[in-house]
Amino acid sequence: MCMEKNSVKASGVSIIVPPGIALRPLVRGQVGVRSEDIGALAHGQVALVTFRLEYSESAGCFEVAAFGVDRADTDIEVSGAFLRTVRVHAIAKLGILAALPPWAFQLAQLRHLRDRGGLRSFPDFTPSDEEALLLTGLIYRIAEISGENPALAVAESIGLKQRTATNWIQRARAAGYMTSTEHGTAVRRVAKVIEPFWSAYHAEDWDDHKASHNITEDSLRAIVEREIAKANEAIAEDRSHGND
């Protein structure tokens, strides 16, 4: 069976969501998926997944509207047992990343700075109080849109203890950054301030994404797999401490 080129494409008339992020509300994807995301596959086997994601204004995030699995060249039956091994969210996340505007995609990757202490580890990172709250609101909402843990995203991206991150989130919410769409100009300004830190850390991935919103699965897979690997390392480290 010949599989078409993997692709993830966002479309539709842009909508503005708090605190001022323009999103394409519809994402269609077709990607080759391996055993990392479908446990029933053997190493080296690839299944073809198609999905459609739609942004839900009531939920404040993308929802999986359609999802299908084609076994492609494998000889495995797409049974109920097979489907229970499919990591739907991990696969759909590729589409969610494609729906974000470039500057918001950039902010979504700040969590990769956590192994060096987040943004606060950079001596030149000195945002004003307003900028700090805007950044908090942005990171929170981007993680929320992506189906991630938003409070953890704020803590890891900026470099805060969880209690401090919770305080910042409460202040950002009180300032209206979680509910109002009127901060588009301000959030893009803050994103511009952050850009040098991101560019210095993962410039090659950013350039790949910026080139086109018709993103291939392979161009996003490296970013997502790195994030999953770091999460697994953190879990393993927590377990090892628990056994001490």
Residue 202 has a pLDDT of 53
pLDDT at position 63? 95
Helices within 109-183 (DSSP H only)? 129-145, 150-158, 162-174
Residues 154 and 139: beta-carbon distance below 8 Å? yes
Residues 224, 240: Cα–Cα separation, whole Å: 24
Could you write out the DSSP letters of every residue in 124-142?
T----HHHHHHHHHHHHHH
What integer pLDDT is reported at residue 203 of this predicted model? 46
The burial of 60, by beta-carbon neighbours within 10 Å (0-12 exposed, 13-18 middle, 19 or more buried), is given as: middle
18: left (phi over 0), alpha (psi -120 to 50) or beta: beta
For the stretch 190-223, pLDDT in tens is: 888 887 776 665 544 444 444 333 444 444 555 5
Which regions of the chain are under pLDDT 50? 1-4, 203-219, 228, 231-232, 234-235
| pLDDT recorded at residue 13 | 94
Q: Which pLDDT score, from 0 to 100, does residue 108 have?
A: 80
Sign of torsion over alpha carbons 205, 209, 188, 97:
negative
pLDDT of residue 112: 74
Question: Tokens for 35?
Answer: 């055993």
pTM, rounded to two decimals: 0.75
